């Protein structure tokens, strides 16, 4: 692994940073979904790094995706979810597991920001244990019927395309799981926004599916093979989540350095105090270590090598690091950290999601520990799925 970014990735990084400064930061206090920013990021190709040029991407790779995601999250962590839903867990999953007609119908529109996507994993009674999914999929001959409920669905109120995970036979556990692409503009699909602590620019919803239909060609992978689809989607989603955590931790560090260089107490800048220096040093170390771990996972994926363990370590560490960094930023800012006048309170609220999304911290601990103890290896041979995406046109 080379620690220097190649020229193509540097160009993408610079483009994302300039976009964030010009378009995102001036609107940081605007709550709610910003549809125009999705379109603009799609037009710039920010969602398409990991996709081949023939299908609307740049072919820059997963490391470039990580770098771009970090830059946008550094400006507004709430936009980080888009890099899952407009890249990893919706269009990439469709590209990897879908039939050719399904790819052509959805993938390019999603990565160019023309349509909004969401992924439906969690349910009121099912969180980390996706094999216990209660939402039911039924083969109705010429189409599939889906009935059930989903919760904590990012972009659920605005999505036009959803990858829904449902079971055709709950007694089979993970062997009964199916993944299917659903269009949301139909009877039986209803969404209600869930109020939440942070990430205000990324709406989260409760979804009800009552007789929702999907054409047969929208099945991803095999009938009953949805667990494999889900695991590959979650692995790649953790690249986005880990990268977002790094970006937000960097924002906490940036704000703390600025404040320490400006704030005077007892006749001198607070940067002169050892306790403040200690906090800054720890934040720098957390950010740097998180960045290297996340980029290693993304790089391994670019090399077409197993990376489940490595991205779990990265996601776990970065999620813990950003929560610590946000707390330290609040401490350095003192009373102003608690004020709505500065963005530090927003960073503090946004940070907690990184210990929950795309696999909770405890689930990551279990995966990492089981691998280390020899209970269950996290990394398995890469799945061979249809198609060489580099040649897609």
- Would you please indicate which residues are annotated as catalytic (active-site) residues? 358
Residues 6+ apart with CB under 8 A from 183: 160, 161, 162, 214
Q: Distances in Å between the alpha carbon of 333 and those of 245, 250, 258, 309, 329? A: 20, 16, 10, 36, 6
Which secondary-structure segment (H or E) carries 207? strand 204-215
Largest CA distance in the chain: 78
Go through the chain and tell me how many residues it has: 393
The string of DSSP letters for 137-156 reads EEE-SSEEEEEEEEEEEETT
Question: What CA–CA distance (Å, rounded) separates 356 from 353?
Answer: 5
Q: Distances in Å between the alpha carbon of 108 and those of 17, 115, 261, 313, 316? A: 24, 9, 46, 31, 31
Assigned token pair, 328: 């330290």
Contact in structure between 155 and 117 (CB atoms under 8 Å):
yes
Instruction: Specify which residues 165 forms β-bridges with.
Output: 179
Which secondary-structure segment (H or E) carries 118? strand 117-120
**238 phi/psi in degrees, rounded to 5:** -70, -20
Instruction: Specify which residues 126 forms β-bridges with.
Output: 123
User: Would you tell me how many other CB atoms lie within 10 Å of the CB of residue 100?
Assistant: 11
Residues 6+ apart with CB under 8 A from 388: none
CA 53 remoteness from chain centre: 22
Q: Distances in Å between the alpha carbon of 341 and those of 183, 201, 344, 382? A: 41, 18, 9, 48
195: DSSP letter: P
339: buried, middle or exposed (CB in 10 Å: 19+, 13-18, 0-12)? exposed
């Amino acid at each position: 692994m080379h620690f220097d970014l190649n020229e193509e990735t540097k160009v993408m990084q610079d483009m994302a940073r300039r976009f964030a400064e010009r378009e995102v930061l001036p609107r940081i206090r605007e709550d709610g979904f910003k549809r125009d920013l999705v379109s603009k990021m799609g037009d710039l190709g920010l969602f398409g790094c990991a996709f081949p040029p023939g299908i609307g991407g740049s072919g820059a790779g997963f490391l470039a995706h990580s770098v771009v995601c970090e830059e946008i999250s550094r400006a507004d962590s709430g936009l980080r979810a888009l890099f899952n839903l407009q890249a990893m867990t919706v269009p990439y999953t469709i590209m990897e597991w879908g039939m050719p007609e399904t790819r052509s119908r959805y993938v390019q529109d999603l990565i160019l920001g023309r349509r909004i996507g969401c992924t439906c994993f969690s349910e009121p009674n099912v969180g980390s244990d996706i094999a216990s999914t209660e939402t039911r999929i039924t083969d109705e001959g010429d189409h599939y019927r889906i009935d059930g409920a989903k919760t904590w669905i990012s972009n659920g109120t605005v999505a036009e395309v959803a990858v829904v995970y449902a079971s055709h036979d709950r007694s089979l556990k993970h062997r009964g799981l199916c993944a299917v692409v659903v269009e949301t503009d139909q009877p039986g699909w209803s969404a209600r926004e869930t109020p939440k602590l942070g990430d205000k620019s990324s709406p989260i919803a409760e979804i009800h599916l009552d007789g929702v239909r999907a054409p047969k060609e929208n099945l991803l992978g095999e009938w009953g093979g949805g667990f494999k689809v889900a695991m590959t989607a979650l692995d790649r989603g953790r690249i986005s989540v880990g990268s977002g955590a790094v970006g937000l931790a960097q924002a906490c560090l940036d704000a703390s350095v600025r404040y320490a260089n400006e704030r005077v107490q007892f006749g001198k800048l607070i940067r002169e105090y050892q306790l403040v220096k200690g906090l800054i040093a720890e934040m720098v170390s957390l950010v740097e270590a998180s960045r290297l771990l996340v980029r290693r996972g993304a790089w391994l994926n670019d090399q077409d090598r197993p990376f489940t363990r490595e991205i779990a370590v990265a996601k776990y560490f970065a999620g813990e690091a950003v929560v610590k960094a946000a707390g330290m930023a609040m401490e350095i800012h003192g009373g102003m950290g608690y004020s709505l006048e500065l963005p530090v309170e927003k960073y503090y609220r946004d940070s907690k999601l990184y210990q929950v999304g795309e696999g909770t911290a405890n689930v990551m601990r279990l995966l990492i520990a089981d691998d280390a103890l020899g209970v269950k290896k996290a990394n398995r041979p890469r799945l061979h799925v249809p198609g060489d995406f580099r040649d897609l046109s």
